[in-house]
Structure 1
Amino acid sequence: MPARREVIESVLTDAGWPSPAWLETTEQDPGAAQARQAIKNGAELVFACGGDGTVRSCIEGLAGTGIALAILPAGTGNLLATNLGVPLDTAAGVRLATAGGRHRIDIGEVEGRAFAVMAGVGFDAALLGDASSTLKARIGAPAYVLSALRHLRDRPMSLQIRIDQEPTRKRQARTVVIGNVGRLQGGVDLLPDASPDNGQFDVAILAPRSLGHWVALAWGVVLRHRRVQHREVLRGSRITVTSDRDQPRQLDGDIIDPGRSLTVDVRPGALEVCVPLPNGGSDPSARTRSPAGD
């Protein structure tokens, strides 16, 4: 962390920006409280340095405020950064923020919690919850594969799915993923048409019933086929998924309490985020902004 701080402060100085204030996250306060404090302190830009969990928490503190978020990826999962074209290198991420590219994206809200990547019920939440922290630290993303193998034969869910004012759909499925963006680890597009700024989230209903179905589903997703066996995709701005029993649930990789239902409300354009400028240009007015680090 000291080396990363030196890089961040050096790049900001080279860009003519003031030194940032540093607000450390904790297990109890992973980002939301720090983001709100940064705003109270007068910050005009908040850097979130961490994985999707840290970024998600910071979004809770920033959503609807007009204060921009700059992502500095530093975790096992960096899916929001990847989907938005934010570089994984710290220095490059800081330079991107100082260049001045800003874009408003949608966020989802579940029981007062915000998320910007994906929410899930069933298989995907189970594998995320069971992935060993020690193994993730040692081998990274493959730890999720090992966890997934343990859940391939879990019992399917009996679901009712309501999209906006459409009639309720009844489905048997292994997992439901509700995404603001579509790309997973390794560049795999689970939701190839998902867009973070269209005011709607895409909903993937995955319903494999055997190992062969899982293989067909995975192969179709990897090859980016428009029609993939055992995957149904819907879209809406308010999505409610109700199961016949309690299910594991997750928001941007953070496990929340199990429950029989998950309701996602989309908040269009609620978050301003630093993104690459078209053609690598720069915005001279960016030098006037004051950063705060989380």
Structure 2
Amino acid sequence: MTQAVTSAAQNNARLGILLMIATTFVFAMQDGISRHLAGEYNVFMVISIRYWFFALFVCAIALRQPGGLRKAAASNQKLLQIGRGVLLVAEICVMVVGFTILGLVESHAVFVCYPLLVAALSGPVLGETVGWRRWAAIGVGFLGVLIILQPGSGVFRVEALIPLLAALMFALYGLLTRYAARKDTAATSFFYTGVAGMVAVTPLGLWHWEVMSAPDWGWMALLCLTGALGHWLLIRCYEVAEASTVQPFAYFQLPFGAVLGVIAFGEMVRFNVILGAGLVVAAGLFTFWREHLKRAS
């Protein structure tokens, strides 16, 4: 009996890992499409259309749950939930701008430091204890970011800080999500993520509206579908496996994005980016491992 339960848990973990890898692949494709469209049209318009579909997807999921939209929207911390949604859509806009200026390779290489930012800010935001081992990992990770950005060299550009800003915003979004989870369900947080973000970005998207060509409407439709598919895969991933088991595999988005950047957009992968990203990922995996040990003890 014990063997059967263990085997089932292992199968769930294996399925969760596969789902997380599939999620990162879909999100990397989404980033590539976003880069293409934002290079041709205003970023607010692109994100607005994407969020219209995302909000419909979120509402469709809520309607399938007991209590429907009313239960999904029920919260005693609505301002926090709305703030989370607005912060995420702002982060997406910043990151997509980074794709158009720096490309997928360097943007993803810097952005992967967000788990380290979460670890660093979990103390002041959530009141969690951050030990010296985690601070050491954070220091190593940011050494990797400095290697990527090369602040002392002639090739450094202020634009290189854009994905770092996006990483900081996403880290804050993640911490606020964890804070909101103390009182609200995941369904409620997911609902406000889509709806609040859609309401916030729509006026900007309509103000900057541009005529889109027929082929690009096809890419826009694919962007919306990949967004919905990616979130569905992520939901399924967390349903079948623990977050601590699958989260390290979220780093697969970095190589997927880099390969897409090289093949589709002709980007170059510089040695300092590989070295720096390697340090960031290693430091991030160490923080996940420490958190796993802490929960297991």
Q: TM-score range by the shorter chain?
A: under 0.3
In terms of fraction of residues, the more helix-rich structure is 2
In terms of fraction of residues, the more strand-rich structure is 1
Question: Normalised by the size of structure 2, how large is the TM-score?
Answer: 0.23
Say which structure, 1 or 2, has more relative contact order (CA 8 Å, 6+ apart): 2
Question: Normalised by the size of structure 1, how large is the TM-score?
Answer: 0.23
